[in-house]
Amino acid sequence: MKYIDEYRDGRLAKDIARQIAALARPDRTYHFMEFCGGHTHAISRYGLEDLLPANVRMIHGPGCPVCVLPIGRIDAAISLAMRPEITLCTYGDLMRVPGSEGSSLLKAKAAGADIRMVYSTLDAIRIAEQEPHREVVFFAIGFETTTPPTAMAIKMAIAKDLPNFSVFCNHVLTPAAIQNILESPDVRKLGTVKIDGFIGPAHVSTVIGTEPYEFFAEEFRKPVVVAGFEPLDVIQAILMLVKQVNDGRHEVENQYIRAVTTVGNEKAQAEVATYFELKESFEWRGLGQVPYSALRLRSQYARFDAEKRFGLETRAASDNPACECGAILRGVKRPADCKLFGTVCTPDTPMGSCMVSSEGACAAHWTYGRFREKAKEANAGRAVA
């Protein structure tokens, strides 16, 4: 398929991998974090780690919006949906995320809650328009990529005069999370997470551009390469990062030039700024409270804020103590390090959000990585024999 196959050419990938192997210095180890869950899946699906030399290592980051949503917010959505007058509209990957005591939106729906899976904010607007007797709440979630559609939904609700539409806002911001990681004890004090550079997210960067990453490159002296989601995009970004580290540079480079610009989508940014403002603090699963890392509706649009409209409170709730999802999101551990992985925790019976979402690191490892690990173990066994 044109414009897809070109970025999945195995021969080119191996050629780039040979360049990486030639440039990677044997006296050092390179640690690069791919922030976005889409990159994590590309790395697992296409076996990119198998092409890299042993001293070039990838670290999974918290770039999965479903994964980083804390249990308390899931519980709040469930309590909202259980109200008889409310129709909760949500994306499908949120339905099976575990809440407290084994609850989930899917189980709440089975118990009678009016929860409807939608493909876009327009579906939620349509439901509110067609069913004026129902209070329709859109469970808004995602990074900067999905925030403009939520802003447009509010704009449409105003234009259509829909008093029965509101938003449960859980939009979070990428730059704040990157800063939190770089300032975390895991990176700065304990050294349990080593990061030499970042692969910057693709879709997020189409909206915000590359400028927001310049602070991290300069302040923390960490190179950032914004990359697309195809395998050649990712492996080329790794090559660019290796070159920067070797040269002692810490710059922001744009591999994804076919979609990302320096300033991003200014029209989308303007729409978001019209309806949203920064929230002082927001809890991320695995990261804790992160200052100015999320959005809330501006006061003049409070009538569309489901939390204010229905007096919704978010109570703190603990993850399953055996689940390592939080540590995986911080890059401290990998999916296979979790004792639950592949035993009681599978896509059919997820114990944590990292196994539920299509962008989760555990889901990626379950779908692709575990088979390659078994193959490596088998090959190693034959070599010893």
Q: Please, are residues 361 and 368 in contact by the beta-carbon 8 Å criterion?
A: no
Confirm if 60 and 361 have CB atoms less than 8 A apart: yes
End-to-end CA gap in the chain:
44
The pLDDT of residue 176 is above 80? yes
- Of the chain, the percentage scoring pLDDT greater than 90 comes to 82
Work out the average pLDDT over 67-71.
93
CB 213 within 8 A of CB 228: no
Cα–Cα distance for residue pair 116/128, rounded to 1 Å: 12
Instruction: Report the percent of the chain where pLDDT is more than 70.
Output: 95
Tell me the per-residue pLDDT of 304-348, one tens digit each, with 9 for 90 and over: 999 999 999 888 888 888 999 999 999 999 999 999 998 999 988
Longest dimension (CA), the chain: 74
User: Is the confidence at residue 25, as pLDDT, over 80?
Assistant: yes
Within 8 A by CB and 6+ apart from 112, the residues are none
**Radius of gyration of the chain, Cα coordinates, nearest whole angstrom:** 21
Residue 194 clears pLDDT 60, i.e. is over it: yes
Give 209-257 pLDDT, tens digit per residue: 999 999 989 999 999 999 999 999 999 999 999 999 999 999 999 999 9
Position 189 confidence tier, pLDDT thresholds 50, 70, 90: confident
The model's confidence at residue 384, banded by pLDDT at 50, 70 and 90, is very low
Mean pLDDT to the nearest integer, 200-217: 95
**Residues contacting 142, CB < 8 A, separation 6+:** 65, 170, 171, 172
Nearest one of 191, 202, 193, 246 to 225, comparing CA atoms: 202
Mean pLDDT of the chain: 92
Tokens of 231: 């395998």
Separation between Cα atoms, residue 238 and residue 57, nearest integer Å: 10
CATH of segment(s) 30-334: 3.40.50.11740
pLDDT at 38: 92
CA distance 147 to 199: 22
Mean pLDDT score, 66-74 = 93
Structure tokens at 335: 């999916």
| Complete edge-to-edge strand list for the sheet that includes strand 197-200 | 56-63, 30-36, 197-200, 224-226, 252-254
pLDDT above 80: residue 105: yes
Would the pTM count as exceeding 0.85?
A: yes
CATH 3.40.50.11740 residue ranges for the chain: 30-334
Q: Has residue 120 got a pLDDT over 90?
A: yes
Tokens found for residue 359: 């962008």
What pLDDT score does 374 carry?
57
pLDDT above 80 (res 158): yes
What is the per-residue DSSP string for 74-126?
Answer: HHHHHHHHTSTTEEEEE-GGGTT---GGG--HHHHHHTT-EEEE-SSHHHHHH
Length of the chain: 385
Q: How far is it, in rounded angstroms, from Cα 168 to Cα 340?
A: 31
